[in-house]
A and B are shown apart, each in its own frame.
Chain A
Amino acid sequence: MLDLKQDFFTLFGLEPVFAIDMERLEQAYLDIQGKVHPDRFAHLPDVEKRLSMQWATHANEAFRTLKSPLSRGHYLLEMRGVDPAFDTNTAMSAEFLMEQMEWREALGEAQDAADEDALEDLARRIRHSSKTLVDELGRQLDVAGDLEGAADTVRRMKFLEKLQHEINDALTALES
C-alpha cells in the first residue's frame, strides 16, 4: 500500500538518482495532482477532503524537493545516511571562501551604488558557478559515489543560493 512515508522518488516512480528525467518528474507530479488535488474532492465527504489535502501537500513537497538540484542532492544524501550539516560544518576550501568574500564585497558595493547592472551581472556569474556545481554533484552522487564530496558541494550550493536570494532582494529594494 502507498503511504505518505515512502520516499519521493518512489512516489513519482523514479530511480533514486541525481540525474532524473525532469519531464518524467513533471508528468508524474501532474498525474498525481490530477487525482489527489482538493479541487477534485470539494463536493465529497470530509474524510476524503482531508486525505486529499494530505496527499496534495505531500505531492507538492515531493515535487519541490526533487525539482531543485540543491534540495534533490540534499535529499539523496539524507537517504544515503549523510547529513550535510549546514549549520555546524562550515569547513570550505580557502579558494571557495575567497571567491565568496569577493562576491559579497561586489554585492555590497553594487547595493551602495544602487547599481542594477552590477547586480544583474553578479547574478549571472553566480548562476554560471551554480551550474558547474550541479554537474559536479551529479558526478559525485551518480558516478563516483563520493558522498563526502557531494556533501561539500551541497554546502557550497547552499552558499550560492543564499547569495542569489540576497541579490534578488537587493534588486527588489532598488525598484521600490
Chain B
Amino acid sequence: MALLQISEPGMSTAPHQHRLAVGIDLGTTNSLVATVRNGVSLCLQDEDGKALLPSIVHYLPDGQIVVGRKAQATQAVDPRNTIISVKRFMGRGLKDVSHVETMPYDFVDTEGMVRLRTVQGVKSPVEVSAEILKELRLRAERSLGDELTGAVITVPAYFDDAQRQATKDAARLAGLNVLRLLNEPTAAAIAYGLENASEGVYAVYDLGGGTFDISILRLSRGVFEVVATSGDAALGGDDFDHRVFCWILDNAGISLPSDRDSRRMLMKAREVKERLSLDESAPVRMTLDSGDEIDLVIERQVFVDITRPLVEKTLRPLKKALRDAGLEASDVKGVVMVGGATRMPHVQQAVGEFFGQTPLTNLDPDTVVAIGAAMQANVLAGNRAAEEEWLLLDVIPLSLGIETMGGLVEKIIPRNSTIPTARAQEFTTFKDGQTAMSFHVVQGERELVADCRSLARFELRGIPPMVAGAARIRVTFQVDADGLLSVSAREVSTGVEARVEVKPSYGLADDEIADMLKAGFEHAQQDMERRALKEQQVEAERVIEATEQALAVDASLLDDAERAALDAAIAALRSAAQGQDSRAIKIQLEAFNRASNEFASRRMDKSIRQALTGHKIDEIRI
C-alpha cells in the first residue's frame, strides 16, 4: 500500500525547491553574509571559522586581488594599493570625502564619483566594493553548495540615491541578483523584532564604521513600519579613530607621517579605541619607519573628551527623526543599538540619557544587520508561505526635487515618504517654439540647489513647438522599493512622450558597467554569452513555474480562448529556453510578458478584493 505524503501544518501544500538566498551587510569596516537554514538565520563563515570579512581590498602588481583578513595583515606594507573603508567613497566626489589629506591613495579627481589609481589601473569604488561582494558570494556558494538565487544587500538608511545606485551596481558587477536594497536599521529591527516579538515604537541607533543612521519604527504583529529616518552618511567609528590618530600625532610631535606610518598609526588608533571600551587606559607604542619610537598612554577620559563632539553630532539627527515622526523621546519603548561603534560606553550613555532608558544591547551589534537581511532575503525569494510573511514599509531618507529658476529647489517627493511612491509635477516652456528642456534632479532638504546633492541632469527633446507657457511638461518621479529614483517626462496637452536622457552626477553610466562586466571575464565575449544564456534560461524557468502555480489556483479567471493563448505562450517560451540562443529566449520572454499581463492584473484584482473582505472570511471560518 502506498503511503500518502501529508505535509506538516503551516507548510506550503505544494513545496517547491528551497531557493538559496542570502543577506549581505556591506560594511565600512567589516562585511558579512548570512542565510536562513532550517528556519534559523546564521552568518556564514570562512575556512578559518570567521564570519567578519574585513572590507579591505589589496591590488597586487601580478594581477591578483586579495580581499579581507589577508589584505588587512599587509595593509601597512602597501597602503596605496590596499583600499580600506571604500564605502565612504561610494557615489561621492573627491570634494565630499573628509580627511583625504591623511589618506595614502592616489586619487584621480575626475568629474563625478572619485576614482583611485592602483597598480592594477584606475578603480572606481564600485569595482572595489564588487570585490568584497564577490568574496562573500563565493563563500556563500561554497557553504551552501550551489549558485545563489538572489541577495538582499543592506545600505545605510541615510544613503542618497547615488550611493544606493552605486551599491546596486557593485552587486551586479559581483554577479549577484539583487532581490532588494534594505536599510541597515530596518534589517536590525526585523532581526530584533522577530526574536523578541516586540510591539510598539522602537528606535534603532546604528553607528557603523563610516555611517550613522537613526530610524524610528512602529512594530505591530507582522508589520514593520518605518515612521521616520535620519542620520549622517559620513559619521562613524572611523571618525573616532581619526580623533585618536590626531591625538597621537600631536602628542608624539609628528606633523607629516609617511604613508606607511600613517596607516599603521590609524590601525593603532582603532586598536586603542577598542581597548578603551574595556579598560581605563591604553598604551600607544610603535616604532616609526625612521626608527623613532612612540611610547604614550591614553586615558579613557581623554578619549571621551576628544570624541564627545562626535557623539553629540549623532543626537541632532535623533531629534530630527523624532520631530518628523511627531513623537517625543518618551514615546519610544526601546532603543536597539547596532554597529560596532555602539560598544563605546560613552555612546551608550549619551543615547541612554537622551531617551531616558537603558539601550538594548542584547544583540551582537556586528551581525544583527546581516541576520535581518538574511531573514528578508528568505521572504523575498519566496521560501515562506504567504501567511507567514511580514510586511515591511520603509521610507526615503531625503527629499527629492528639481532645480527651478534662480537655483531654487522644488521638492517633489518629501523625505520620509513611504516607498514605493510616485509624484508628478508640471513645468512649462519659457520661450516661444521651445522644443527642448533640461532638468536637474537633486536630493536634500535645503532650499538652494547648491546645498543639495546633485543626482542627475536630463534633457527632454521633441516637445511640439508652442507659444511660451503653453506646453505642459509632466515630470514624474518614481521611487521603487529599493529607494531608487527613476524619472519620466511627457508633454501633457499633445501626449507626446518626449525622449529623456539621464546623465548621473555621481554614478556610473550603463556602458561603463557593461565594460567593467566584460573586463571581469577572461574570455570576454564567450563568457558573457554563456552567462547571458544561463540568465535567460533561469528567468524563463522561473516565469513558467510561477505562471503554472498561478494557473493551478486561478485558472477560472480566464476563458477558454485566453487560457489557450497563455498555454501557447508558455509552450513557445519553454521551447525557446531549451535552445542555446539567449536572444530568442529574451524575445519569447517579452512576448510572454505581454500575453500574461491581463491574467496577472486579474489575479492582483482578486487578491485586493480578498484583502478587503479577508476579515469576514476569517470570521466565517471560526
- Interface of A toward B, CB cutoff 8 Å: 1-2, 12-13, 28, 30-40, 42-48, 51-53, 55-57, 60-61, 63-64, 168, 171-172, 175-176
Closest chain B CB from A6 CB (angstroms): 11
Contact with A along B26-46 (1 / 0, CB 8 A): 000000000000000000000
Contacts of B543 in A (CB 8 A): 45
What B residues does A35 contact at CB under 8 A? 604, 607-608, 610-611
A45 touches B612 (CB 8 A): no
Q: Is the CB of B542 within 8 A of A32?
A: no
Q: Which residues of A contact B420 (CB under 8 A)?
A: 38, 53, 56-57, 60
CA separation between A6 and B548, bound complex, in Å? 31
Report 21 cross-chain contacts, Cβ distance below 8 Å, ordered by A residue: A31-B611, A35-B607, A35-B610, A36-B604, A36-B607, A37-B393, A38-B420, A38-B481, A39-B481, A42-B150, A42-B382, A45-B543, A45-B547, A45-B600, A47-B600, A48-B546, A51-B600, A57-B421, A168-B323, A172-B319, A175-B320
> How many whole Å from B544's CB to the nearest CB in chain A?
9
* Alpha-carbon gap, A51 to B604, bound state (A): 8
Q: How many A-B residue pairs have CB under 8 A?
A: 115
0 or 1 for each of B587-609: is its CB under 8 Å from A? (1 = yes): 00000010011001111110111
B320 contact set on A, CB distance < 8 A:
172, 175
Residues of chain B with a CB closer than 8 A to A46's CB: 593
- A33, A40, A57: the one contacting B422 at CB < 8 Å is A57
Q: In the bound complex, what is the Cα–Cα distance between A38 and B178 (angstroms)?
A: 13
Bound-state CA distance A168–B415 (Å) is 14
By a CB distance below 8 angstroms, the chain B residues around A31 are: 611-612, 614-615
Q: Is the CB of A45 within 8 A of B546?
A: yes
- Chain A interface, >50% SS class: helix
A63 to B418, CA, bound (A): 10
Given contacts A51-B600, A175-B320, whether A2 and B608 have CB atoms under 8 Å apart is: yes
Given contacts A32-B612, A61-B422, contact A55 B392 (CB under 8 A): no
B600:A2 contact, CB within 8 angstroms:
no
Q: Are B386 and A48 in contact (CB under 8 A)?
A: no
Tell me the complex Cα distance, A40–B392, Å. Answer: 10
B198: interface (CB < 8 Å): no
Q: Please tell me if the beta carbons of A33 and B612 are within 8 angstroms of each other in the complex.
A: no
Instruction: Indicate which residue in A45, A60, A176 contacts B542 across the interface (CB closer than 8 Å).
Output: A45
The chain B residues found within 8 Å of chain A, CB to CB, are 19, 149-150, 179-180, 223, 316, 319-320, 323, 376, 379-382, 386, 389, 391-393, 417-422, 478, 480-481, 542-543, 546-547, 593, 596-597, 600-605, 607-612, 614-615
B399 to chain A, nearest CB (A): 12
User: Nearest B residue to A56 by beta-carbon distance?
Assistant: B420
- Give A34 to B390 CA distance when docked, in angstroms: 8
- Cross-chain contact of B316 among A39, A45, A176 (Cβ < 8 A): A176
Nearest Cβ on chain B to A123's Cβ, whole angstroms = 10
Complex Cα gap A57–B611 (Å):
17
Report the minimum CB–CB distance from B32 to chain A (whole Å): 21
Q: A33-B393, A34-B611, A53-B480 are in contact. Are A43 and B381 (CB under 8 A)?
A: yes
Please determine whether B421 and A42 come into contact, CB atoms closer than 8 angstroms. Answer: no
> Contact at B382–A45, with CB atoms within 8 Å?
no
Residues of B contacting A64 in the complex (Cβ-Cβ under 8 angstroms): 417-418
What are the 3 closest A-B residue pairs judged by CB atoms, nearest first? A43-B382, A42-B380, A38-B481
Determine the chain B residues whose CB is within 8 A of the CB of A55 once the complex forms.
Answer: 604, 608
**Interfacial chain B residues near A36, Cβ < 8 Å:** 604, 607-608
**What 15 new A-B contacts, CB under 8 Å, besides A43-B382, A45-B543, A171-B323?**
A31-B614, A32-B612, A33-B391, A33-B393, A35-B610, A35-B611, A37-B481, A38-B480, A39-B379, A39-B391, A45-B547, A48-B604, A51-B604, A175-B316, A175-B319
Measured in the bound complex, the distance between the Cα atoms of B600 and A44 in whole Å is: 11
Nearest Cβ distance between residue B386 and chain A, in whole angstroms? Answer: 7
Which of chain B's residues have a CB closer than 8 A to the CB of A34?
391, 611
Shortest beta-carbon distance from A110 to chain B in Å: 16
Q: Enumerate chain A residues within 8 angstroms of B605, measured Cβ to Cβ.
A: 1-2
Distance (Å) between the CB of A152 and the closest chain B CB?
25
Q: Is the CB of A28 within 8 A of B612?
A: yes
Residues of A within 8 A of B422 (CB): 57, 61
Give Cα A37 to B547, complex, Å: 19
Chain B residues with Cβ below 8 Å from A51 are 600-601, 604
Whole-angstrom distance from the CB of A119 to the nearest CB of chain B?
Answer: 11
Contacts of B609 in A (CB 8 A): 2
Complex contacts, B381 vs chain A, CB 8 Å: 42-43
Contact between B481 and A53, CB atoms less than 8 A apart? yes
Please name all residues of chain B whose beta carbon is closer than 8 Å to the beta carbon of A176 when the two chains form the complex: 316
Q: Which residues of B contact A48 (CB under 8 A)?
A: 546, 600, 603-604
Contact between B421 and A61, CB atoms less than 8 A apart = yes
Q: CA of A12 to CA of B613 in the docked complex: distance in angstroms?
A: 11
Evaluate whether A30 and B319 lie within 8 angstroms (CB atoms) in the complex, with A43-B382, A53-B481, A57-B422 already known.
no
